[in-house]
Amino acid sequence: MLIRIFIFIVFNLFTLSYAADSIFYSDKDPEQIQQIPKGYIDPTILDPCQTKAYNRPLSLIEVTEAALCHNPNTKEVYANAKIQAAEVGVARSLFFPSLRDTVAFTENQIRSQTREGQVRQNNFRNTQNQIVASYLLYDFGGRDANLESANQLLKAASATQDAIVQRVLLNAVNAFYQVHANKAILKASIESERLFEESFKAAEAKYIAGIATPADKLQVNTSFANATLTRLTNEGLLRIAYGNLATIMGVSPGTPIEIIDNDMAVLPEFIDQDIQALIEQAIIQRPDLIATESELKASLAKIESAKAEAKPKVRIEASNQYDSETIFLRDINASQVGISVTIPFFEGYKPTYLIRSAEATAELKASKRDQLRLQVSLDVWTAYQNLKTANEAIKASRILLTSAEESSRVAFGRYKEGVGNIIDTLNAQSALASANQQKIQSILNWNIARTTLAQSIGVLDNAMIQKLPEAKRN
């Protein structure tokens, strides 16, 4: 009985001391556990996406929120983080004493026959209760290394979650701007079709009046038909862009979605920055690079864990066993307390190969870290140059569009007055359509380059998205 009391006290002291350590050092806990009163509902755990509706034009913020809530990638990475948090708990369990109780009850029947032929039958019961407490006193840092590895993998999972979130945000923003650009392109193609239609009507009127050749009418008709075909193609591309946006938001491509029309012509002024400073910032903040650093630290901890497995382990154990035997009409109560040392002498070179495998894994993680660091630098460099190029392209496209609009207006006016030819008019209108296309594409490239640069640095979040060009609701 005294041994049982001793086991109970020791176990509870370890449990209470470790629980107190978890309260004061909550950063060690993979998850915070709270006692919630019965019937209480925490409003913060309710899914805000359940109230989302797509029956009105959506802003950029609403699109990104829906993508974060419903995109399967974010759900998958969150589940992976929860799994790794549980693995931390498994690693921390080695710091607790183990306590197990084994209860056995047997019913026995013995039939025997004497020399005189008499049959005897004896029935007896055997009840056994054994409780054992064990605690690992020292293992040369093995459990510490395992806990460090699990914590680093949890950090890697958290950083990977941030990286996936930024990637989903980038895809959502780019899909939003792609839809807006396709809407603008469709609008421009409709206007271009209208201009070619006016040219066709003018050429047809001149042909009826006998002051234009059949060739003029056929050339205008061809250009008009081509403009109609372009408009139909752009309508299909817009539907595809909407389907892509819906998929990123985690809904069916056929879901009817509408977005708010933004004033894409009003863009923030480009500020030239130190590209090397941006690369250094990305090296510090990129979540995927942080994840590889944590994975490397976890693999280094695994080396120490593998080395510790080849060394002795010291445990303290206490047990109490109670046996009740009816056949002998006796009760046995045996207790013991002791320290055991486990020394691995030879295991077929298994520890050696485990250490070599852990060291090779660490080398592999280091190589991946270095490779990703170079890729991060290239990502920032490429995104920054694309942003500079897009900024200059916007300026050039505005000049081109102004010139093309004036040229088209003059050429069409000259043709209607009879002093210009149809070829110059059609060329001017085609140049105008191309200028409109280039302006829209340059603005799309600017917005994509800006968000890509933010993602390549590791600063793409809701706060940054709120600073992007946003229109007011109609």
User: Of 102, 90, 6, 27, whose CA–CA distance to 318 is shortest?
Assistant: 6
User: Of 441, 439, 438, 433, whose CA–CA distance to 196 is shortest?
Assistant: 433
**Can you spell out the DSSP letters for 33-92?**
-----TT---GGGS-GGGG---SSPBPHHHHHHHHHHH-HHHHHHHHHHHHHHHHHHHHH
pLDDT value at position 144? 92
In terms of Cβ atoms closer than 10 Å to its own Cβ (0-12, 13-18, 19+), residue 311 is: middle
> How far apart are alpha carbons 430 and 408 in whole angstroms?
9
Sheet of strand 330-342: strand arrangement: 98-113, 119-138, 313-325, 330-342
The CA angle 233-236-238, to the nearest 5 degrees, is 110
pLDDT value at position 463? 66
> How far apart are alpha carbons 235 and 182 in whole angstroms?
8
Query: What's the distance, CA 262 to chain centroid?
Result: 28
User: Of 132, 93, 152, 95, whose CA–CA distance to 303 is shortest?
Assistant: 152
Question: Per DSSP, what are the bridge partners of residue 324?
Answer: 127, 331
Residue with tokens 């829209």: 440
Helices 422-457 and 214-248 meet at what angle, rounded to 10?
A: 10
pLDDT value at position 106? 79
**60-97+141-310+349-465 in CATH: which number?**
1.20.1600.10
Q: What pLDDT tens digit does each residue of the chain (474 aa) get? A: 434 443 444 444 344 334 333 322 334 443 333 333 333 334 344 455 664 567 788 888 888 888 888 888 888 888 888 999 999 999 999 899 988 888 888 777 667 666 666 666 666 677 888 888 999 988 898 999 999 999 999 999 999 999 999 999 999 999 999 999 999 899 889 988 888 888 888 888 877 877 777 887 788 888 889 889 999 999 999 999 999 999 999 888 988 888 887 666 666 666 678 889 999 999 999 999 999 999 999 999 999 999 998 899 899 988 888 877 665 566 778 888 889 888 888 888 888 999 999 999 999 999 999 999 999 999 999 999 999 898 889 889 888 988 988 888 888 888 777 767 778 888 888 888 888 888 888 888 888 998 999 999 998 876 667 666 553 343
- Whether residue 257 contacts residue 245, with contact meaning beta carbons closer than 8 Å, is answered with yes
> How far apart are alpha carbons 306 and 142 in whole angstroms?
8
Structural tokens at position 335? 């207790």
User: Of 341, 392, 350, whose CA–CA distance to 140 is shortest?
Assistant: 341
User: Of 400, 383, 447, whose CA–CA distance to 172 is shortest?
Assistant: 447
Question: Per DSSP, what are the bridge partners of residue 320?
Answer: 131, 335
> How far apart are alpha carbons 200 and 408 in whole angstroms?
15
Residue boundaries of the structural domains of the chain: 60-97+141-310+349-465
- Coil, helix or strand for 146? helix
Residue with tokens 């209607």: 416
Q: Which amino acid is at 231?
A: R
Rounded to a whole number of angstroms, the distance between the first and last alpha carbons of the chain is: 80
Full-model pTM: 0.75
> How far apart are alpha carbons 48 and 70 in whole angstroms?
11
Q: Which residues fall within 8 angstroms of residue 445, CB to CB, at 6 or more apart?
A: 386, 389, 390, 393
> How far apart are alpha carbons 470 and 380 in whole angstroms?
25
> How far apart are alpha carbons 473 and 261 in whole angstroms?
8
- Coil, helix or strand for 262? coil
> How many C-beta neighbours within 10 Å does residue 244 have?
16
pLDDT value at position 45? 42
pLDDT value at position 68? 86
> How far apart are alpha carbons 324 and 329 in whole angstroms?
8
Residue with tokens 């946006």: 245
